[in-house]
Amino acid sequence: MCLQRAPSDYEERCAYTMWNRKKVYMCFCNGDLCNSAVGLYTHPIIFISAIFVTLYNYYF
């Protein structure tokens, strides 16, 4: 979840806080999409090979 506004002092930091009555570790940052991540790519041949190995082990 991204915040609509940056922290009031514009300092990026992480800390424990209460959210939905649970103690969670939350990071606050500023800038557009500051919490984005790079997706992982799996080559299709590796993916298909893994499926065949799993099916082979299941049936034989």
Model-level pTM?
A: 0.36
User: What pLDDT is recorded for position 2?
Assistant: 59
User: What pLDDT is recorded for position 57?
Assistant: 86
CB contact at 8 A, 22 and 32:
no
User: What pLDDT is recorded for position 41?
Assistant: 66
Q: Where are the domains of the chain?
A: 1-33
Torsion-angle region of 13 (φ positive above 0: left; ψ -120 to 50: alpha; else: beta): beta
User: What pLDDT is recorded for position 5?
Assistant: 67
Share of the chain above pLDDT 70, in %: 67
Helices then strands, counting H and E runs in the chain, come out as: 1, 2
